[in-house]
Amino acid sequence: MIYCLVIIQYVYEAAAGAKTGFEMGMNDARNYQHTDLFHFKVEPNNGQLTFPEMIVNTLTGEKMIAEAGEYKVKIAIPFGDRPVSLVVFDIIKTASAFFMLAILIYIPFLFFSIIKLVNKGGILEPKTIKKISRIGWLLLIIFIFNTLIYDIFDPIMASKVIQIEGYKIIPNLSNLSSLFLSIIVLFLGEILKHTAKLKEEQDLTI
């Protein structure tokens, strides 16, 4: 149930993003430009905790040294000045978003079919174990796609058109939750496979 709510929220956010993207696209077409959105981690050129910027505390008016950890940036680039690599990357990113959405929709169907098999006492059936392992592999695919596209290549593409004073753009490799979840599910599948094999050998012995 919770997973279904997550999917609904994902679709809702995707629809809102698509609407915003369409409006931005219409505006860009009128101005012969393309607006790119980037979300990336940054690190000060001189290392962490060097506080390269100054901000104002509006409560006291006091100036404070500060350091950002990440930025969300919107930048408009004329069509003729947009790197080909960025255009290709946008196409890949859009296609991968639909691909991952399809996986996120498919996983609940697998999950409910597993629950149905378990309720019938088929937890050690080969098809049950195969479906559990399939969920694990799908979660691993999601992690790989997210890591490659959003955590590694997105910062690389951003660095082609953006330079922030005092900072360097770096990959974000801190989001490992889907990796851990996929490993746990795959490990569960292997345990059930081994258990089913032991049960089969025990039945043959009897």
* DSSP 8-state code for residue 147: I
Q: What is the pLDDT of residue 93?
A: 86
Q: What is the pLDDT of residue 1?
A: 56
Residue 75: closest CA among 161, 150, 170, 166: 161
Query: What residues of the chain score a pLDDT lower than 70?
Result: 1-32, 206
Q: What is the pLDDT of residue 2?
A: 54
Q: What is the pLDDT of residue 24?
A: 57
Q: What is the pLDDT of residue 172?
A: 83
